[in-house]
Amino acid sequence: MSNRTGPDADQVWQALGRASFAVVSHVTQAGEPRSSGVVYATARRRLYVAVAPDSWKARHISATPQVAVTVPVRRGGLLALLLPIPPATISFHAAAIVHPPGSPNAGALPAQLRRLLPAGHADSGCIIELIPEGNFVTYGLGVSLAQMRHPQLARGRVPVSP
């Protein structure tokens, strides 16, 4: 189902580039669902997350590299200070690649992504590369605040690859 008034892939990527917080959902090796808030950066139409190599995120996502991602996109400007305006959202499935500390792929990351690693630990953190797949499912992106009250207008589905 396409939303004619909604965003296109470039607008979704612009919104992802302006945001920096996402919720990544995955399953553990035992099949239990988990989700976690993460800070990310974008480059080359991918999202990158820095985690500790011994973290449960690194372990579980390495074992089951299919994840779901939801990014809240702040809306409302000054109006949000007066009224409770929910954020717009961008959700998608992603293939996840966990780059271990010191791996050549982690070292080849753009400089702006290295800021995700703690100071002095640039070679000791894992980078999780999230490669969006299928469609972005949006809510409230590319529509007015008034249209956000109407799900049929506020929902969008945008192919990841234009």
pLDDT at 128: 92
Instruction: Count CA within 13 A, CB hemisphere, residue 33.
Output: 5
Contact 39, 74 (CB under 8 A): no
Residue 2 confidence class, pLDDT cut points 50, 70, 90: very low
User: pLDDT (tens digit, 9 = 90+) per residue, 22-68?
Assistant: 999 999 888 999 999 999 999 889 999 988 889 989 999 999 999 99
- pTM for the whole thing? 0.87
Instruction: Show the CA angle centred on residue 15, arms to residues 60 and 135, nearest 5°.
Output: 60
pLDDT at 133: 97
User: pLDDT (tens digit, 9 = 90+) per residue, 104-158?
Assistant: 665 556 666 666 666 666 667 788 999 999 999 999 998 888 888 888 889 999 9
Residue with tokens 């909604």: 6
Beta strands at 66-73 and 33-43: parallel, antiparallel or unpaired: unpaired
Euclidean distance between CA atoms 90 and 84, whole angstroms: 19
CATH class, 9-159 region: mainly beta
The answer to whether residue 161 scores a pLDDT higher than 90 is no
| Residues whose CB falls within 8 Å of the CB of residue 105, separated by 6 or more in sequence, listed in order | 97, 99, 127, 129
The answer to whether residue 3 scores a pLDDT higher than 60 is no
pLDDT at 82: 76
User: pLDDT (tens digit, 9 = 90+) per residue, 75-85?
Assistant: 877 776 777 77
User: pLDDT (tens digit, 9 = 90+) per residue, 83-98?
Assistant: 777 889 999 999 999 9
pLDDT at 105: 62
* Consecutive H or E run containing 10: helix 9-18
